[in-house]
Structure 1
């Protein structure tokens, strides 16, 4: 993100498109709206474009608050800022350590020169008193360099402790950047990388895999009826249920809003359909009740779309097919599984369970 080093003609064309769209949507040309539409025109982040399209097509349209949320999620992540801050601190510590080591080197160099002088003076000494004075100087200089070495060792130890702490903070920031704070699941920031890794394995070893997108049915109605706190509890419940009903290397991801992605490595299309149907049944069989008040919320359903890897797939094309399958599931009345197989999977274009 924030890489806008394009050719002049390309930048002008994108600028023209963005201004036309801002005008047609009746949006103010502030930096947030402008940057989001500019990124959308570049078509380099499918998840950002999906969020933006969903917001634009929603009943309320792209509000300032929603635009800020999308901007923060995709372009300004707090954990990434912390990583940058920690990296700068780490560089400063390393520079200080290097300077300390250079200074120590100079001290040892000066000490060697002093010892050379002492050797020459000893050669010229003609009394015990002279030798005693020279010996005292050597001892004092030796003690001085010993003290300096101990101080340097302490500084290096302290710097090492700081570097270890920073390493832990950087690792925590990296985890935070890829973790959804509400559900504890991986977020979609790393999903494209996961899919690309599986694509590489498919190209090398023909190891097939599937991607499922699952969406909670009528989630807006839940929020409107019970409030966002209950909505958050619903999201955590669905996350737990999905997690407890996949196995092995299967990965559940909070894709955004009320939507989840499930990556199924080493799974053919037919097996993916079975998994998706099992997940749907587990959710629909549950009866929900609020622990605090005892209020019954009734049942809950999800719709799922599944796509399997194809020979020419990229992360974006696989996500798009899974999303198309999910839209088909919604259009079929929800609480169902729809799949869009590749040509090698089936002669059919869709399948309903």
Structure 2
């Protein structure tokens, strides 16, 4: 997890977290502090939604519940348990297939032996009654093999179906673990992984890497005036628009709250800026309508900051530059895109 908060912001979130834990009787241990710090920083929208529901319902934060929340959002324990269970089930199915094929091999070996014996007796010219007995025995053996093959086919089909279902379970687990619950695009966990991977690929291949940070202008005020359901509708609109504008190599993510990010491999600063301007323009061109009332809510504008990766630097510095460019765009009046070149003060 990379952080972009400055000292004052981090201190404010920390104080809010400690005060909240004291207020609801949650022990201020490191795990619980991590949960509530990120609740106030808005890093994990799904975490904030979960905690808001629990708070609204006046649920008690027991030691078990605190542990479950931490494990769900800040560890891979849940994914590991599902993966372990699925792997064990897949190993069981593969063992069944191997056992079934071993049985088929034994049957074929016995049939082969019988055929050789039959061939030898034919060569010896035995009496007809002996021949009849041999044919009856051979027919019985072939019948057993065919019957076993039919059962083997059914067993193989069953195992293949089970393995396909296990593959679907694994894929669903991967999507759920890496997808933002509201917008359907990448969550912060996947963003961190992809940004780290993209920076390593950029250095290894000598390619450019750009990062875009986007924030919905005055979103808190919009939420207060129109309600969270309409606000969620806007966030979905932004996510869909970003996804429509980017290429297959790019990664769009919900960075936190109303802030989005886009990782742009093999993209220059100039092209990243043009893409950010296009995204903001397309969002502002849409008329937002309250689905429940039909009320037209006007246009949504956004601000964006863009930065490029410098080989060998910590990822946190790239994040800070992009975030500072975004903050500068907002200070300058919103509804605009700025890049690291536009920053008044250099970022170390």
User: By the TM > 0.5 criterion, same fold?
Assistant: yes
Confirm or deny: 8 A CA contact 1:51 1:70 kept in the other structure.
Answer: no
Q: Report if aligned partners of 2:211, 2:264 keep a CA contact under 8 Å in 1.
A: yes
Partner of 1:199: 199
Displacement of 1:346:
9.1
State the partner residue of 1:149. 149
Please state if 1:51 is matched with 2:48: no
Is this contact kept in 2: 1:212–1:306, CA < 8 A? yes
Structure 1 residue 35 corresponds to structure 2 residue 35: no
Is the CA contact 1:22–1:28 (under 8 Å) kept in the aligned structure 2?
Answer: no
* 8 Å CA contact 1:80, 1:174 repeated in 2: no
Aligned match of 1:254: 254
Deviation at 1:208, TM superposition (A): 1.5
Equivalent residues of 2:202, 2:266 under 8 A apart: no
1:212 aligned residue: 212
TM-score by structure 2 length?
A: 0.69
Cα distance, 1:199 vs structure 2 = 2.3
Distance 1:77 1:173 in 2: 12
Higher relative contact order (CA 8 A, sep 6+): 2
C-alpha contact (below 8 Å) 1:83/1:174 kept by paired residues: no
Between the two proteins, the alignment pairs up a number of residues equal to: 313
Superposition deviation, residue 260 in structure 1: 0.8
Match of 1:232 in 2: 232
Q: Is the 8 A contact 1:118 1:134 kept in 2?
A: yes
Equivalent-residue separation in structure 1 for 2:224 and 2:102 (angstroms): 65
| Alignment of 1:103 onto 2:100 | no
Distance of aligned partners of 1:273 and 1:121 in 2 relative to their CA distance in 1, 3 Å threshold: closer
2: CA distance, partners of 1:220 / 1:106: 72
What CA distance in whole angstroms lies between the structure 1 residues aligned with 2:37 and 2:215? 14
Equivalent residues in 2 for 1:6-45, closer than 5 Å: 26=22, 28-29=26-27, 35=31, 37=33
Q: What RMSD over aligned residues (CA atoms) do the two structures have, in Å?
A: 4.4
8 Å CA contact 2:178, 2:190 repeated in 1: yes
Output aligned runs, 1:166-181, within 5 Å: 166-181=166-181
CA deviations over 1:203-238 (Å, ceiling 9, x no partner): 244322211111223323333322222111111222
Report which stretch shifted further, 238-247 or 125-134.
Answer: 125-134
**Cα gap change, 1:293/1:107 in structure 2, threshold over 3 Å: closer, same or farther?**
same
1:117-128 paired onto structure 2 within 5 Å: 128=128
Q: How far is the alpha carbon of 1:305 from its aligned partner?
A: 2.4
User: Structure 1 residues 134, 237: CA separation in 2 closer, same or farther (over 3 Å shift)?
Assistant: closer
Q: Distance in 2 between matches of 1:264 and 1:63?
A: 32
Q: Deviations over 1:232-282 (max 9, x none)?
A: 111122223334455675443222321111223333324433433444444
